[in-house]
Structure 1
Amino acid sequence: MKKIKIVNGQVITPYRIVKNATVLIKDKKIEAISEGDIEVAGYEVIDVKGNYVSPGFIDIHIHGGGGHDFMDGTGEAYLKIAEIHAKYGTTAMAPTTLTCSKEDLLTAIALYKSATVKNTRGAQFIGMHLEGPYFALNQSGAQDPRYIRNPDVEEYKEIIAYGQDVIKRWSVAPELPGAVEMGKYLKANGIIAAIAHTDAIYEEVAEAVENGYNLATHLYSAMSGVTRRNTYRYAGVIESAYLIDSMDVEIIADGIHLPPPLLKLVYKIKGPDRIALITDAMRAAGMPEGESILGNKETGLKVIVENGVAIMADRSSFAGSVATTDRLVRTMVQMADIPLVEAVRMMSKTPATIMGIEATKGSLTVGKDADVLIFDENINIKTTMINGEVVYTSAEFSN
């Protein structure tokens, strides 16, 4: 039974920072948190020397990193992506697919199942996020248009049956024929129905929300805003997400997909308890800039990574991101002027709540999993701990 005592830390709770605090970890769980010292014997002591002690970051929308993509068709890709992102503070993630064939989706699910039991050194897998293929062609963005199609009842029921207890979320354009019925089916099967790559107007979003959809996938990206049809204006998905209080939203907070004024606007209207920060990272995350591939390394789309973002080769749109979770928190604090406590909450507690795992993850609370980060004032990760095990320590911190 491993026992760890973290001392001299600035401990970030969901609502405040406890200075000069101690955290006790026992048997993979948070045992105690207290200001000042806690006198105990037999614990390995980690002196964080005034650095921040934070809950692990939870990324609910991620495609790849370190030169790998979840669509590569290999178990190694799953493990390597989990390992590379752990170095940047991600302790839990939802591997995300891209628009593809049914056969490729089933393969991705099978690989998730086998990789999960082998994943001991990287961010934990908390369920799969299927992004597509049921999207509006006009809002395809970086999704391969060859595979975009309307919801197919027999197809999605077969996929869900195969991925039972594995698929936790599915992103769909709600205005498509059959999408409302699909939302009902997803909800009945305990799967989060999310709105994405869509031209829906408010009336269609409202109906979707009434039938199971409760999350906006990468708000602002590949979705409708105010539109005009002949004489009349209609509110789009963006405005709907603001108007419908019960809707959660996720944002790619790299400062590029959404510039600081929009990050501030989303925060001002939705608040930290309705916003999950996501990387939407593709294989080039954690890699040098240059040419890369979105999706399967053999059949995916060619992209260019420059100036901290991935774009399509024809420069028509972004192509996922190369962000890591530490960068998201850093951007919210330094560029959007969001308090550190709330930026961390949007990267931990809120995504845990959205995914339904808040009972065990998302905050430094007694009894929860010991997913713990140590980082400095610039959100540079010094140590990543998953279930009480150190999986990464920076060279300068270990010395």
Structure 2
Amino acid sequence: MGFLKVTNGTLITPFRYIRGGTIVIQDGIIQGVHERDIDVPGATVLDAQGKFVAPGFVDIHVHGGGGYDFMDGTEEAFLKIAELHAQYGTTSLVPTTLTAEKEDLLHTLDVYERAKLKNNRGAAFLGIHLEGPYFALSQRGAQDPRYIRNPDPAEYEEILAYSSSIVRWSAAPELTGAIKFGQRLREKGILAAIAHTDAVYADVLEAYENGYTLATHLYSAMSGVTRRNAFRYAGAIESALLLDMDVELITDGIHLPPPLLKLVYKIKGADRTALITDAMRAAGMPEGESILGSRTNGLPVLVEDGVAKLLDRSSFAGSVATTNQLIRNMVQLADVSLLDAVRMASTTPARIMGVGARKGSLVAGKDADLVIFDENINIETTIVNGQIIYDKKQIVNTLQAI
């Protein structure tokens, strides 16, 4: 593959900026991170023109984009979603399902296995995230109530045996059988997360002790302080903030207002907070009517005001955000430094998913996943495994030529 030299950029490392820095890449791996330009004979040179060069963004919770949803059950959907999000700086993502029948989940796993072998033009796949179907009906949000149920050992054991590509599974920890389920996921090395839950502190603590280490889209479809017979109980939100759990936030600027973004950052910090898009098929598309989930049996939704909603507007139905927007909002709305905002979109989610040794930071020996962007977090170039898969200037020049 030869050498690729990315030079004349402001590098964003885990702890500092390197202005006028250079990154040398060979065979998809970062060979060196330098504070100045260096001579690399025969290298292809990419001039960052003073813009920021950051580790590629890692989106650990995404459902779709570009008019496609992973639940469409086609290779085309998987590949097009990966390509769409790469245009906005995502270099790795975790395809995420919705509540569905077992057969639909198995089919999605089959398609993933085929699609990942062909995915060379988009963000890399890190494995499948099964979101549901083991949720609290009262906290279903936009999840289809027809498919919500309690954990069934016969069902989840069959699914676990069917595929080794499951890297994460979200469930409500207070359900009957959920603790045993969490223990089983931990045994399999699969990240267990609490989600769509009405749990109180005792439930979350027990779950945390039995394998659940992440709170899925904190605040969304999740219990807060409740009262039972006049007594107050901490909900899943307060429990996740109090315990040594990781949390993920949809920072599209709509799901959570600035005060809550600031609160979570103050309590959990950049090292325990991952930014996610939770994007559905309408990400990167014009507003209007859309579908959450598969085209065949998904839920009709309306995209307006920069977010997807149920038709009766009673609930959000997933975001239409892209990862560069997440970072921009944390900087502009939550007063977070660009250094920390990038960490929450790269280093932290990579660590949460167990791939921090090879992704998530500009360090020699790691995968050459990079993104170049301007002061407004507009993406100029996306590099995955040392290959330039998106270049804004090239696209603009092509359009001008046409």
TM-score range, shorter chain: over 0.9
Are 1:339 and 2:337 matched, yes or no? yes
Per the alignment, in what secondary structure is the counterpart of residue 71 of structure 1? Answer: helix
Q: Determine the C-alpha separation between the residues in 2 that align with 1:207 and 1:130.
A: 21
**CA-CA distance at 1:395 after TM superposition:** 3.1
Q: Determine the C-alpha separation between the residues in 1 that align with 2:86 and 2:255.
A: 23
Q: Determine the C-alpha separation between the residues in 1 that align with 2:140 and 2:392.
A: 39
Are 1:60 and 2:63 matched, yes or no? no
Superposition pairs of residues 117-132 of structure 1, within 5 angstroms: 117-132=117-132
1:346-390, CA deviations, whole angstroms, 9 ceiling, x for partnerless residues? 000000000000111000100100001010000000000000000
Per the alignment, in what secondary structure is the counterpart of residue 24 of structure 2? Answer: strand
- Residue type of the partner of 1:210? E
Per the alignment, in what secondary structure is the counterpart of residue 335 of structure 1? Answer: helix
Superposition pairs of residues 315-334 of structure 1, within 5 angstroms: 315-334=313-332
Could you say which residue in structure 2 is the equivalent of 1:369?
Answer: 367
Q: Determine the C-alpha separation between the residues in 2 that align with 1:365 and 1:395.
A: 26
1:231-278, CA deviations, whole angstroms, 9 ceiling, x for partnerless residues? 100000100011102x00000011110111111100000000000100
Could you say which residue in structure 1 is the equivalent of 2:400?
Answer: none
Per the alignment, in what secondary structure is the counterpart of residue 319 of structure 1? Answer: strand
Could you say which residue in structure 2 is the equivalent of 1:199?
Answer: 198
The answer to whether the Cα contact below 8 Å between 1:63 and 1:95 also exists between their aligned partners in 2 is yes
The answer to whether the Cα contact below 8 Å between 1:2 and 1:28 also exists between their aligned partners in 2 is no
Could you say which residue in structure 2 is the equivalent of 1:248?
Answer: 246
1:127-173, CA deviations, whole angstroms, 9 ceiling, x for partnerless residues? 10000000000000000000000000000000011112x00000000
Could you say which residue in structure 2 is the equivalent of 1:51?
Answer: 51
- Residue type of the partner of 2:248? E
Could you say which residue in structure 2 is the equivalent of 1:348?
Answer: 346
Q: How many residues matched?
A: 397
- Residue type of the partner of 2:253? G
1:195-254, CA deviations, whole angstroms, 9 ceiling, x for partnerless residues? 000000000100000100000000000000000011100000100011102x00000011
**CA-CA distance at 1:75 after TM superposition:** 1.1
Q: Determine the C-alpha separation between the residues in 2 that align with 1:175 and 1:7.
A: 52
Are 1:395 and 2:393 matched, yes or no? yes
**CA-CA distance at 1:38 after TM superposition:** 1.1
Per the alignment, in what secondary structure is the counterpart of residue 361 of structure 2? Answer: coil
Per the alignment, in what secondary structure is the counterpart of residue 45 of structure 1? Answer: strand
**CA-CA distance at 1:40 after TM superposition:** 2.0
Q: Determine the C-alpha separation between the residues in 1 that align with 2:334 and 2:345.
A: 15
Could you say which residue in structure 2 is the equivalent of 1:78?
Answer: 78
Superposition pairs of residues 191-230 of structure 1, within 5 angstroms: 191-230=190-229
Q: Determine the C-alpha separation between the residues in 2 that align with 1:137 and 1:320.
A: 17
Per the alignment, in what secondary structure is the counterpart of residue 71 of structure 2? Answer: coil
1:289-341, CA deviations, whole angstroms, 9 ceiling, x for partnerless residues? 00000001121101111111111111010001000000000101111110001
**CA-CA distance at 1:194 after TM superposition:** 0.3
**CA-CA distance at 1:398 after TM superposition:** 6.8
Superposition pairs of residues 29-178 of structure 1, within 5 angstroms: 29-164=29-164, 166-178=165-177
Q: Determine the C-alpha separation between the residues in 2 that align with 1:71 and 1:40.
A: 45
Identity of aligned residues (%): 66
Q: Determine the C-alpha separation between the residues in 2 that align with 1:65 and 1:342.
A: 26
Q: Determine the C-alpha separation between the residues in 1 that align with 2:2 and 2:340.
A: 31
**CA-CA distance at 1:396 after TM superposition:** 7.0
Are 1:290 and 2:288 matched, yes or no? yes
Gapped regions of structure 1 (runs ≥ 5): none
Q: Determine the C-alpha separation between the residues in 1 that align with 2:54 and 2:222.
A: 33
User: Alpha carbon RMSD of aligned pairs, Å?
Assistant: 0.9
The answer to whether the Cα contact below 8 Å between 1:382 and 1:397 also exists between their aligned partners in 2 is no
Are 1:357 and 2:390 matched, yes or no? no
Gapped regions of structure 2 (runs ≥ 5): 398-402
- Residue type of the partner of 2:262? K
Q: 1:303 aligns with which of 297, 301, 307?
A: 301
- Residue type of the partner of 1:46? L
**CA-CA distance at 1:117 after TM superposition:** 0.3
Per the alignment, in what secondary structure is the counterpart of residue 25 of structure 1? Answer: strand
Are 1:272 and 2:270 matched, yes or no? yes
Could you say which residue in structure 1 is the equivalent of 2:382?
Answer: 384
Per the alignment, in what secondary structure is the counterpart of residue 156 of structure 1? Answer: helix
Q: Determine the C-alpha separation between the residues in 1 that align with 2:316 and 2:395.
A: 35
Q: Determine the C-alpha separation between the residues in 1 that align with 2:380 and 2:108.
A: 32
**CA-CA distance at 1:6 after TM superposition:** 1.1
Per the alignment, in what secondary structure is the counterpart of residue 205 of structure 1? Answer: helix
The answer to whether the Cα contact below 8 Å between 1:373 and 1:381 also exists between their aligned partners in 2 is yes
- Residue type of the partner of 2:10? Q
Per the alignment, in what secondary structure is the counterpart of residue 135 of structure 1? Answer: coil
